[in-house]
């Protein structure tokens, strides 16, 4: 009798067919509202730095090279793909794309750097409405910022007017050593 039961089993198994995706050889579409790699539109971006102020992983770094040249760098290596940058962007310059195939052997492959020409607002220094509840962030990240792009480090210092000394200092910035390093 076991032969018939085995045949039954085989038929039962054959019924659903193959469910395995042929993924690396055939593309697999992502679900709706999927948040992949954020993409910047440098024509729309006004360089307000709102995304950098709100990024939970401090992935977006800002460095002001002079009065009207600002370099923004997105370091995808520690990005959480939370979509906060796209939410706060007042110009909708950031979109979360559907790209998720980001595996590489080099960290620099998932960075994006952007040079922006700035026309600073004469009244407030920038044109971006911060969260009014978070006064510390509001006070700390005002005006010109000098993050270290090579070390991918956020430096919590900002000046109202452009300061050459701050750039030199942040060039020499080194992250404090931890135990075990």
| Residues making contact with other proteins (CB under 8 A) | 19-21, 23-25, 28, 30, 40, 42-43, 56-58, 67-68, 75-82, 99-105, 107-117, 119, 152-153, 175, 178-181
Contact between residue 45 and residue 79 where contact means Cβ atoms under 8 Å apart: no
Gap between the Cα atoms of 97 and 99, Å rounded: 5
DSSP structure class, residue 42: T
Side-chain-side CA neighbours of 51 within 13 Å: the count stands at 29
Question: What's the min distance (Å) between Cβ of 2 and other proteins?
Answer: 26
Smallest separation (angstroms) from other proteins to the CB of 144? 13
- Minimal distance, residue 138 CB to other proteins, in Å: 21
Residue 76 vs 143, nearer CB to other proteins: 76
* Of residues 123 and 132, the one with the C-beta less far from other proteins: 123
Compute the distance between CA of residue 51 and CA of residue 58 in angstroms, rounded to an integer.
9
Q: Which of the 8 DSSP states describes residue 63?
A: E
Whole-number minimum distance, CB 1 to other proteins, in Å? 29
Measured from the CB atom, the residue of 5 and 108 that comes closer to other proteins is 108
Q: What length is written for the chain?
A: 181
């Amino acid at each position: 009798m076991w032969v018939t039961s085995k045949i039954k089993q085989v038929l039962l198994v054959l019924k659903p067919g193959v469910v395995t995706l042929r993924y690396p050889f055939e593309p697999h579409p992502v679900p709706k509202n999927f948040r992949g790699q954020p993409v910047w539109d440098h024509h729309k971006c006004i360089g307000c730095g709102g995304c950098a102020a709100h990024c939970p992983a401090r992935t977006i770094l800002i460095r002001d090279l002079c009065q009207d040249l600002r370099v923004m760098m997105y370091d995808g290596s520690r990005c959480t793909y939370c979509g906060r940058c796209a939410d706060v962007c007042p110009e909708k310059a950031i979109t979360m794309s559907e790209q998720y195939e980001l595996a590489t052997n080099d960290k620099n492959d998932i960075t994006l750097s952007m040079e922006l020409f700035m026309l600073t607002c004469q009244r407030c220094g920038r044109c971006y409405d911060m969260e009014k509840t978070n006064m510390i962030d509001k006070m700390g990240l005002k005006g010109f910022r000098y993050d270290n792009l090579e070390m991918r480090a956020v430096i919590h210092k900002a000046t109202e007017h452009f300061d050459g000394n701050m750039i030199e200092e942040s060039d020499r910035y080194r992250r404090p050593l931890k135990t075990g390093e």
